[in-house]
Amino acid sequence: MPSTQKKIGEKIPLPRAAFLFSTVIALASVWFGLDQWTKHWAITSLKGTPGITLIPGFFHFTYGENTGAAFGILRDNPVALTFISTFVILLMLWFATQIDWHPWSHRIAAGLIAGGAMGNLLDRYKLGFVVDFIDFQFGSWHYPTFNIADTGICIGIGIFLVRQIFFCNKSSVINH
């Protein structure tokens, strides 16, 4: 059977590129919509309240406003955060047109990262901060509050890393 590996920088036919691009856009749009819907719920249901306890001492929904990125880095630096978010979105969309990503894991990762970045970028643009509401703690340990966009970004990065570290041939982007 002939090799069907795609080399880095190898062009793919336009119809295939359009299909790959559309799958990333579709997932990014769904994740973006889910993020915005849950943040709207958090604003209308949690803001100004003590929050909702789902599992006492462990899992809560608590409204928060984050002017930084993950774990509060770059706090109060909206220009840098806007630039980084825009760059990540454009990079994921560019990847979707340049690389024949198979298996689906790479397209899923790109869609989750792009959708999450778009969700947080829109918050920063509209509100001046990102709405966070998912809250975990265990005893005195408290994980930073986060949202669905952050979850998509982290899961997407995790998928990329696992796939690259454990499953990819080092001489190609992809193994069919």
In a domain, 106, yes or no: yes
Q: Does residue 93 form part of some domain?
A: yes
E strand or H helix at 125: helix 104-127
4 domain residue, yes or no: no
The answer to the question of residue 149 being in a domain is yes
> 132 is in which domain, residue-wise?
16-49+57-138+145-167
CA 130, 132, 138 angle in degrees (round to 5)? 145
- Is 135 part of the annotated catalytic residue set? no
| Residue 150 designated active-site | yes
Mean pLDDT by 10 residues, the chain (176 residues): 50 70 91 98 97 96 89 75 87 72 78 94 92 94 93 94 78 45
Q: What is the pTM of this model?
A: 0.80
- Structurally, how many domains does the chain consist of? 1
Cβ-proximal residues to 68 (8 Å cutoff; 6+ apart), any chain: 74, 75, 76, 77, 81
Burial of 140 (0-12, 13-18, 19+ CB in 10 A): exposed
45 found inside a domain? yes
Residue 159: inside a domain: yes
First to last CA, the chain: 12
Task: Say how many C-beta atoms besides its own lie within 10 A of residue 4's C-beta.
Answer: 11
Q: Which of 100, 123, 132, 135 is catalytic?
A: 132
Residue-level pLDDT at 78 = 77
Q: What is the pLDDT of residue 17?
A: 67
Q: Identify the DSSP state of 1.
A: -
Which of 35, 100, 135, 150 is catalytic? The answer is 150
